[in-house]
Amino acid sequence: MALELKQQLKLSQQLLMTPQLQQAIKLLQLSRLELMETVQRELLENPFLEEAEEPVLVQAEPETRPEDGDAVYDKEAAGSADWEDYLGELSSAPKLAGAREYELSEEISSLEARHAAHPTLEAHLMWQLRLSSLSERQKEIGEYVVGNLDSSGYLRATAEEIAGLAEAAPAEVEPVIAAIQRFDPVGVAARSAQECLLIQIEMLRYDRDPILVDLVKHHLEDLETHRYKPLLRKFRLDMDTLKEYIDIIQSLDPMPGASFGESEPMYVSPDVYVYSCDGDFVILLNDDGLPHLQMNTMYDGGDVALSDKDKEYVNEKLRAASWLIRSLEQRQRTLYKVVESIVKHQRPFFEEGVTKLKPLILKDIAEDINMHESTVSRITTNKYVATPHGIFELKFFFNSALGLNDGSQVGSESVKALLKKCISEEDPKDPLSDERLCELLKEHLGVNIARRTVAKYRTALNIPSSSRRKSHF
């Protein structure tokens, strides 16, 4: 059998992700905090990056490369990448308003972050423990008790376990637990809700009433599920008297440690500000805290003789610095264009509020600004915008559509907002059922919505059913 040699040509096309392109895509989806951490890390690691004293204005074609004539800096390598084609056509730079051109309104720039330090539950109890009349040995045991409390103030270790940790007898632990339970807040270090409430009843001197004690000990579940008739028969009470007992129990705190935060609250810092100005909306990118980068001019290439290894290092760091600056500028332009498009599509929301939110999908924004949907998805991830109606995540503006009777559509978030409003205004003794809510939505919005959809939205809003919302008094 004869052997035959053949040559065959094949053409294939594939997308090559350069490191620079990967970096640009990664920067798009970073949150504001992550971006600041990334920039600070690059400032420390790259000697050719420095922070500019004055903000560098975003330009369509930024000149961030060193002066020409330098053999060390590879200009062709820095300019050959096609990452901008991948991200979309962005040659037309938007008119970015400078952060200092407008003063932020008081509604947007709140003073909530300037709060006094809030003591933790552990610190509050340890302070009382040190001032108590307990012996030094008991205070040592008390430290183990305080150290085993959860965020609600409940003791999550047994007396035997604490005794083992403190190298003490269980009989020594119980008096310490009892003493701490009467610290402020009263009922802390309890092992159960019943024990917590009973301690508070004791301190308020309500424990002389055996009915109240019995209700807390054995009938909390009946009270929670509104099973009142068996209680009325058992204790031979009328409804008014039972209501008095319930009022006393409801005045107690079943989670005494919940008011103490274990950590400082985290406040959202908006990436973009949008506020009304002379009948129009102004978009400001939040650059506060984000360093403005520029190339370090200390190195000019000069006549310094470098080895091949040193040239490779310098060349790499120069390209990395240049690409980082360009990627950051590209990110800000992309963010601006996306927010600008959102404001255009959701203008009724910015004018009147959540009830006017229109249906919107990523494809609508992508087609409007001539970008890929994946780019829009990345730039809207973990980004927040401050509006005249509050701070919202950019993903909030993308919602599904519900049909109206006139053939138009309304956003699902608008329906949820109206649903929440209707429930907040209902009669607690006669709460609105899902069927009635469905009718109200049809009356107010003219929206074609099913009862199961109302139930789904109500569940998404963490609103219980009408039977659980009903108040019997």
Task: State how beta strands 293-295 and 401-403 pair.
Answer: unpaired
Fold of 402-473: Arc Repressor Mutant, subunit A (1.10.10)
Q: At what angle do helices 136-147 and 121-131 cross, to 10 degrees?
A: 170
Query: For residues 174 and 394, what is the distance between their CA atoms, to the nearest angstrom?
Result: 53
Q: Kindly give, in sequence order, each residue whose CB lies less than 8 Å from that of residue 23, ignoring residues fewer than 6 positions away.
A: 323, 324, 327
Q: What is the pLDDT of residue 28?
A: 84
DSSP annotation of 432 reads P
**Inter-residue contact 417 to 424 (CB < 8 Å):** no
Q: What is the pLDDT of residue 461?
A: 81
Neighbours of 352 (CB within 10 A): 12
Cα–Cα nearest to 453, from 444, 441, 466: 441
Q: What is the pLDDT of residue 309?
A: 84
Q: What is the pLDDT of residue 100?
A: 41
CA distances from 201 to 221, 248, 436 (A): 18, 9, 41
Stretch(es) of the chain classified as CATH 1.10.10.1330: 121-250
Question: Does residue 259 sit in helix, strand or coil?
Answer: coil
Q: What is the pLDDT of residue 210?
A: 92
Stretch(es) of the chain classified as CATH 1.10.10.60: 402-473
Query: For residues 159 and 155, what is the distance between their CA atoms, to the nearest angstrom?
Result: 10
Question: Does residue 103 sit in helix, strand or coil?
Answer: coil
Query: Which CATH superfamily is 121-250 part of?
Result: RNA polymerase sigma-54 factor, core-binding domain (1.10.10.1330)
Residues of the chain with pLDDT under 70: 1-3, 12-18, 20, 54-118, 261-266, 297-304, 401-411, 445, 471-473
Question: Does residue 356 sit in helix, strand or coil?
Answer: helix
**Inter-residue contact 175 to 138 (CB < 8 Å):** yes
> In whole angstroms, what separates CA 26 from the centre of its chain?
20
> Which residues are registered as beta bridge partners of 51?
293
